[in-house]
């Protein structure tokens, strides 16, 4: 059966509707969480969970920053990320130069390992070290 322009248009509209439903399915919980974070009390959160906040309150954020020591964790994250980025740039530049200028038997294997390192995120082995940098 030959597809006509009307069938292509209907298929396109159906596909767009499907993508919009999928986007709503993924984005609605994030919107709900963000709106709930601005509610001032548990009564408002659990009493009317799907309603927008009556008034916007940043008290939950202030409490989380104060009691959770988020400033210390933020500094730790900056420290670990900065060191990791510097190490990756230096080692990547050195390895890239060496792999481009020299010829040796396992060159393609090492190149594949470096590409694999760019694709996979291997931050978990550093978690033990990163947690010991600064204690809150």
pLDDT, tens only, 12-59:
889 999 999 999 999 999 998 888 888 887 788 788 888 888 888 888
Claim to verify: residue 113 and residue 61 sit in the same structural domain:
no
For residues 51 and 73, state if they share a domain. no
How many residues are present in the chain?
A: 136
- On whether both 124 and 98 belong to a single domain, the answer is yes
Q: What is the pTM of this model?
A: 0.48
* Segments of the chain assigned E as strands: none
Note whether 36 and 49 are within 8 A (CB): yes
Question: Are 86 and 109 found together in one domain?
Answer: yes
End residue of a domain, out of 23, 47, 65: 65
Rg of the Cα trace of the chain?
25
């Amino acid at each position: 059966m030959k597809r006509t322009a009307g069938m292509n248009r209907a298929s396109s509209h159906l596909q767009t509707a499907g993508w919009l439903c999928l986007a709503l399915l993924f984005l609605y919980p994030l919107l709900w969480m963000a709106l709930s974070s601005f509610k001032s009390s548990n009564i408002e959160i659990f009493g009317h969970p799907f309603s927008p906040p009556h008034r916007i309150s940043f008290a939950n954020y202030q409490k989380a920053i104060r009691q959770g020591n988020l400033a210390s964790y933020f500094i730790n994250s900056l420290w670990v990320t900065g060191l990791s980025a510097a190490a990756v740039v230096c080692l990547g530049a050195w390895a890239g130069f060496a792999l481009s200028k020299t010829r040796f038997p396992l060159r393609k294997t090492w190149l594949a390992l470096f590409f694999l390192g760019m694709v996979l995120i291997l931050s978990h082995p550093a978690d033990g070290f990163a947690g010991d940098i600064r204690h809150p």
